[in-house]
Amino acid sequence: MNHTDLTIQFLREIGLRVEEGTVAADAFLPGIQIAAGAIRVDRAALLSPGDLLHEAGHLALLDPAERASANGVFEAEGGAEMAAIAWSYAASLHVGMPIEMLFHDKGYRGSAASLRENFEAKRYIGVPILSWRGLLDGGVANNSYPKLARWLVA
């Protein structure tokens, strides 16, 4: 199974809706659209399955009612962005996705290399927000990345 298949399977298993179909060429992220709480994926236009994890991170951190009605582009507010990055990194570890696929060079507005370097050096951003949103049982232990106790904000 390839990383896109594994990612879609994981997202469905945790309760996120993933639909496959055409996405407009002018979508914020190529091959991905958020509509009515679902992630629409156009495999032909998708740059990286890491982008799926990042957008899923935004959805996962919303309250259930907000998640169910989410549409369009998520605001680039700092805290929400850091939390989505932290969530997507935890998810990438869970599905066995290489860090270069998550933080790929065509994403993150030129900051992908910096994100890779920081996470590889165990300088994790966004973890306190995951804890605050109730996804962790505790913080970082033994300088390792925490496993999430749950994947969706309840």
Reported as a single tens digit per residue, the pLDDT across 5-17 is 999 999 999 999 9
**Cβ within 8 Å of residue 74, ≥6 positions away:** 34, 55, 58, 80, 84
Task: Convert the pLDDT of each residue in 138-147 to its tens digit.
Answer: 655 556 788 8
Among residues 15, 6, 54, the alpha carbon closest in space to that of 38 is found at 15
Residue 66 lies in a domain: yes
Helix (H), strand (E) at residue 149: none
The β-bridge partners of 29 are: 32
Residue 82 pLDDT greater than 60, yes or no: yes
> Dmax over Cα atoms in the chain, in whole Å?
44
Residue 119 lies in a domain: yes
Residue 150 lies in a domain: no
| Number of structural domains in the chain | 1
Query: In angstroms, rounded to a whole number, what is the distance separating the alpha carbons of residues 133 and 127?
Result: 10
Residue 138 lies in a domain: no
**Helix, strand, coil shares, percent, the chain, to 5:** 45, 10, 45
What is the reported pLDDT for 129?
92
The β-bridge partners of 39 are: 18, 34
What is the reported pLDDT for 40?
97
SS3 category, 106: coil
Residue 139 lies in a domain: no
**Cβ within 8 Å of residue 138, ≥6 positions away:** 131, 146
Going by their DSSP bridges, the two strands 32-35 and 17-20 should be labelled as unpaired
Residue 52 lies in a domain: yes
Task: Convert the pLDDT of each residue in 107-132 to its tens digit.
Answer: 998 899 999 999 999 999 999 899 89
**Cβ within 8 Å of residue 110, ≥6 positions away:** none
**Containing structural domain, residue 115:** 3-132
Task: Convert the pLDDT of each residue in 26-80 to its tens digit.
Answer: 888 999 999 999 999 999 999 999 999 999 999 999 999 999 999 988 776 778 9
